[in-house]
Amino acid sequence: MLFGRLHMNQPLFERNTRKQGATLIMALAFSLIAATIIAGVGTLAVSHFSRARVEADNAMAMQLAEAGIDYELRNISLDPTNPNQAHQQAAYGSMPGPFTSSISGVDGSFTVYVTNDDSTGTGPWVSYDASGMQSNGLRIVSTGTVNGVTRTVRITGARKSLFDEYAIFAYKKGNYSGAGASDGSTRIVGDLGTNGSLTFNGSSGTETIVGEISLHTGASTNTSGTNLVSGGAPIVLPTVSDIANTMFPSGGLTYLKTHNSNANIKMLNKSGSVIDQMNDITTIAAFTSSVMNARLVSAGYTTSTYTLSDPQGNTAPSDACTYDQANGTRFASSRPANSDPAYVFTSQGAYGCNVLFLPPGDYYFNSLDLKQQNTALVLLTHLGNIRIWVDNPSGKVSDDTLKATVIFTDTTPSRFRLFYNKLATLTINGSSQFCGSFYAINSAGGTDLPNLNFNGNSSVYGSVIANNMTIRGGTQVIFPNDGSGADPADLSLWYGFKSGWIEIAKVSGNPVFSDGTRN
């Protein structure tokens, strides 16, 4: 029995061996499972890491593309008059091609260029064409690249005119006196800015400026108030000569000296009949170019007559038409036909004055000598734009006076500009009233010159920008609140984003969608 029992049972060492084998197999299985899980986790981690890195590169590439847009807008704004400032789609002569750069501490780079915002979307783009007018709109394309990942965006840019930002900008120095909150006091409705100093005598702050007082870096003022703001870096403005060179590439002010509209200045027909003096033309609308040419006669100016002075009774007849009395229907002042504050423009007319008529054009003078109050200047702005350029004479430089009744047949402020380039003082006083803007920047004049001196209840519906200016004596400067101060011929103050942001993506050289976009 004992033998049989031992025979039926396995040896002890054999049973242990089998148990060890099973344990080994289970251990190997668990190891395989663990290795598979670890490998899967590792693959998943690597995949997530790779995806996170690609997504980070995509996000950074977009940020770099946006940085390229910002860079080019700032670059163009540094000198909008320079045709070589913008980076073009391709190099065109002296115009540079696309610009590539990077940001310190950031992986990747951006490449940016500009084109015309028109049906072609090509270049070269320039801020002004040969006639001095604003050219096609601005389009900027920028590509950000990080670790082989690229993203491209496109926007359209907008310009801000020199005369569409500030009521007053004192480039070097500004002085303000006789200010207050009531009508008849010196008053500025709109923003005021300076790179230099502002001095207020009498009331100041919010009573004087219905708008912000913007002090750019390094500027100072003796006033205080909640409307004082930081304007950032100093604004760099072109000189009058720069503007003339851009608008008249043939020679700027030198070209204007011999190619101006001075000979077109007209007056009433002294020896003519009543009908020759236009007493049958009762409204501005009826005063067309053909009427002007048929009824008015030359005032005796030529291309080389460089002094605008008071006409005398023996050279220009007095206006005896009752239509031209204050509040009359023809040559009388009127308030701007919009919602701007009615601080500016009291009633005045050309009746009883010796009248000079200025048709649209560019007028060039070395001297403004209008001192008598029996002169009326009728600026025929309903027929087009009028620009007056006052330049330094070749001989002795003298100060200038503009004291006359000034009538604008269209009160739109974009239609009149007076550019003062003389190293002297232009005094605007009396009842002089202007629908338009004044500009007097000359880098040779230092702090004090050119100087614009407004006093004696003069009014400006537009902008005043000068090296130095004095605003006093009940002067009103009203900034257009409907954006009507800008004209396509104005130079730009700066460029910024307009609209049309879109991302452009290409696969193997082809757009993702038929419109060339991916969104």
Instruction: Determine the pLDDT at residue 446.
Output: 85
- 12 pLDDT band (50/70/90 cuts)? low
Report d(CA 232, CA 195) in Å as an integer: 10
How do residues 173-192 score in pLDDT, each as one tens digit? 999 886 554 445 788 888 99
The 10s digit of each residue's pLDDT in 449-459 is 999 999 878 88
The stretch 491-513 carries a mean pLDDT of 71
- What is the per-residue pLDDT for 488? 77
pTM of the model: 0.82
Let me know: does 115 contact 465? Beta carbons within 8 Å: no
Cα(80)–Cα(128) distance, integer angstroms:
9
Q: What is the rounded CA–CA span in Å between residue 43 and residue 362?
A: 75
* pLDDT score recorded for residue 414: 92
pLDDT recorded at residue 510: 47
Mean pLDDT computed over 495-511: 71
Question: Is residue 66's pLDDT more than 60?
Answer: yes
pLDDT higher than threshold 50 for residue 493? yes
What is the Cα–Cα distance from 391 to 368, expressed in whole angstroms? 10
Name which of 373, 377, 372 is nearest 357 in CA terms. Answer: 377
Calculate what percentage of the chain has a pLDDT beyond 70.
82
- Please tell me the predicted confidence (pLDDT) of residue 129: 61
The answer, yes or no, to whether residue 368 has pLDDT greater than 60, is yes
> What would you measure as the largest C-alpha separation in the chain, in angstroms?
164
**pLDDT confidence band for 48 (50 / 70 / 90):** low
Note the pLDDT tens digit of each residue in 299-313. Answer: 999 999 999 999 876
The span from the CA of 190 to the CA of 164, in Å, is 11
Tokens of 174: 């500004």
Beta carbons within 8 Å of 451's beta carbon, 6+ residues apart: 424, 425, 426, 440, 466, 467, 468, 469, 470
Q: What is residue 421's predicted lDDT score, i.e. its pLDDT?
A: 97
13-35 per-position pLDDT tens digit: 555 666 666 777 777 777 777 76
* Sign of CA pseudo-dihedral 329, 334, 340, 346: negative
- Give the integer Cα–Cα distance in Å for 77 and 442: 20
Mean pLDDT of the chain: 83
Q: What is the pLDDT of residues 383-394, one digit of tens each?
A: 999 999 999 998
3-state helix, strand, coil in the chain (%, to 5): 25, 30, 45
- The total of other beta-carbon atoms located within 10 Å of residue 189's CB is 19
pLDDT computed for residue 345 by the predictor: 72
Checking if the pLDDT of 480 tops 90, the result is no
pLDDT at 344: 63
Q: 173-182, 288-297, 415-424: lowest mean pLDDT where? A: 173-182
Average confidence (pLDDT) over 328-346: 71
Query: What value does the CA radius of gyration of the chain take, rounded to a whole number of Å?
Result: 37
Q: Taking 50 as the threshold, does the pLDDT of residue 278 lie above it?
A: yes
Give 483's DSSP letter. S
- In this structure, the strands spanning 492-504 and 149-161 are antiparallel
Residue of 203, 234, 224, 227 lying closest to 213 (CA atoms): 227
pLDDT exceeds 70 at position 9 = no
| Intra-chain end-to-end CA distance of the chain, in Å | 91
